[in-house]
Structure 1
Amino acid sequence: METKIFAKDQLDEAVDLLAKGELVAFPTETVYGLGAIATNEKSVKGVYAAKGRPSDNPLIVTVSDEEMIARYAKEVPERAKKLIKHFWPGPLTILLFVKPGSLPTAVTGGLDTVAFRCPDDQLTHDLIAKLGYPIVGPSANTSTKPSPTTAQHVYHDLKGKIAGIIDGGPTRVGLESTIVDLSVKTPIVLRPGEITPEEISQVLGEKVLINTGKVSDKEVPKAPGMKYRHYAPSAPVVVVDHVEDFAHIPLNAETGVMALKSELSKIDLPEENKFNLGNDLVDADHNLFGGLRYFDDKKQIKQIYVQGFDEGEESLAYMNRLNKAAAGHHFK
């Protein structure tokens, strides 16, 4: 299969492909998503096949506006409306009870809930509005690999496996959306993102919990990113919690280091063995997946050391993704 890259003025071609049941990757403010019409079970199953994604990992339903949710959600409670008004379009995904029979099991994983997201990206808004249907939107990468933040990342992973990619340029945020579960009595953040639990709590005027539990092998996760290995390049990743520890790492030609610019300048390695995460945590959020992909393409690199952050809720999303990439391995 030929994978075509579409420019912004070729959106109608991408719409036609989706309408025919094909798979098309699309940009969002977080990462690139892999699109298929959410009500087309055959196409949705094609998403799992293209990514090599476990079939019990439910998918996010990407909509163009709040009205589209009403077709598929059993109800849109008042607290969901509050979050939608405040954060949409934006990097917040909301888990609600699904209207029975409205979406295929391939989307919901057989659960009675489904996650909805409205990205802050005009191209994707126009795509869904022209299509007239919501699309599923898991990250457009090979399963377990770092999520894509450019159209070129998508092409690298899925060339020949999908029909098209809409090139919207580099993503703004760089980490996937926050997922909040509103199907339970007390809202709970299932996956951290740019929007923090504190921000959600302030809008709702109630306590918001943070998921810290693990999903067992026999359980179906309620949202993406809760159960399976994610974000990992080929070489093992190690989290460096304290910047002074970079001085104690045995460095050689097979070592890769990802850190803020201020720390990289102190590390005695060739430039090709270093990846600049930027000047602060916001930059690091944006650049994390790009750095992991940078070293994934360097076969001589056998170990990657990545700077960790301890900045409370602000660093939750970054450390969530980094810990998954490192399988919990920290430098000691």
Structure 2
Amino acid sequence: MNQWHFSQAARVLHQGGVIAYPTEAVWGVGCDPFNEAAVMRLLALKKRPVEKGVILVASSVEQIAPLFDPLSDQEKTRLLDSWPGPNTWLLPDPNSLIPSWVKGKHDSIAVRISAHPGVSALCDAFGGMLVSTSANPAGAQPAKTLLRVSVYFGSKLDYLVPGSLGDQSRPTQIRDLRDQRIVRA
């Protein structure tokens, strides 16, 4: 992997851009979660309603520290035992730290600390967590190739981070931290 690509992607993200990048199982599209215009543009590209919410990815617990702080020791241990890795958890957001345009209609936020080297490097270059949702219009199959990303979105994306998918065969499972219920298998 070339650090230059991550630096370029981070620059685009800081300018409010929407990018595509390989993740554990499929290509993802992402942006700065605190930039409302960027998130709304990403949702419009996907034709995804804001009410559904999106996932946040990070490279370390430090990048999600405000969400980690209010958790019990048992909940923190559960997360740390599963991260970094292909595990997405719904974390409570009692202090409303994450904007509604990211959470959607939910009182929790979907978060993953990725073990994918490209996703981790991208979050590090950006300096924090990113929106990460599959690179496909709503209802279409998630992109597994850069060609499919291009077919779906053409020149509507601001940057494509080259790289390889991880070794997962399908998008990450999502579980609710409060009751450990599987929300997406």
Structure 1 and Structure 2 fold alike (TM over 0.5): yes
CA distance in 2, matches of 1:52, 1:22: 17
Match of 2:29 among 17, 27, 34: 34
Match of 1:187 among 177, 180, 185: 180
Which segment drifts farther, 161-170 or 136-145? 161-170
After TM superposition, the structure 1 = structure 2 runs for residues 3-18 of structure 1, keeping only pairs within 5 Å, are 9-18=4-13
Number of equivalenced pairs: 185
Give 1:137 deviation, angstroms: 0.5
- Taking a change above 3 Å as real, the CA distance of residues 81 and 72 of structure 1, as seen in their structure-2 partners, is closer
Match in the other structure for 1:75: 70
Match of 1:172 among 167, 175, 178: 167
Question: In the alignment, does 2:23 pair up with 1:62?
Answer: no
Query: Structure 1 length as normaliser, TM-score?
Result: 0.52
Per-residue deviation, residues 163-193 of structure 1 (Å, max 9, x unmatched) = 111121244213110111013xx3201111x
Larger radius of gyration: 1
Moved over 6 A (4+): none
After TM superposition, the structure 1 = structure 2 runs for residues 282-301 of structure 1, keeping only pairs within 5 Å, are none
Match in the other structure for 1:44: 39
Per-residue deviation, residues 205-231 of structure 1 (Å, max 9, x unmatched) = xxxxxxxxxxxxxxxxxxxxxxxxxxx
Give 1:74 deviation, angstroms: 6.2
- Taking a change above 3 Å as real, the CA distance of residues 80 and 168 of structure 1, as seen in their structure-2 partners, is farther
Per-residue deviation, residues 54-101 of structure 1 (Å, max 9, x unmatched) = 221111111111122222456233343233332212110011111434
- Taking a change above 3 Å as real, the CA distance of residues 174 and 152 of structure 1, as seen in their structure-2 partners, is farther
CA distance in 2, matches of 1:161, 1:103: 26
| 1:8–1:166 CA contact under 8 A, matched in 2 | no
Per-residue deviation, residues 125-171 of structure 1 (Å, max 9, x unmatched) = 11111211211101011111001122222112111221111121244
CA distance in 1, matches of 2:85, 2:51: 26
Query: Structure 2 length as normaliser, TM-score?
Result: 0.91
CA distance in 1, matches of 2:125, 2:29: 17
| 1:28–1:120 CA contact under 8 A, matched in 2 | no
Question: In the alignment, does 2:17 pair up with 1:22?
Answer: yes
Match of 1:100 among 74, 95, 100: 95
| 2:29–2:133 CA contact under 8 A, matched in 1 | yes
Percent of aligned pairs sharing the same letter: 27
Higher relative contact order (CA 8 A, sep 6+): 2
After TM superposition, the structure 1 = structure 2 runs for residues 265-280 of structure 1, keeping only pairs within 5 Å, are none
| 1:33–1:138 CA contact under 8 A, matched in 2 | yes
Give 1:49 deviation, angstroms: 0.6
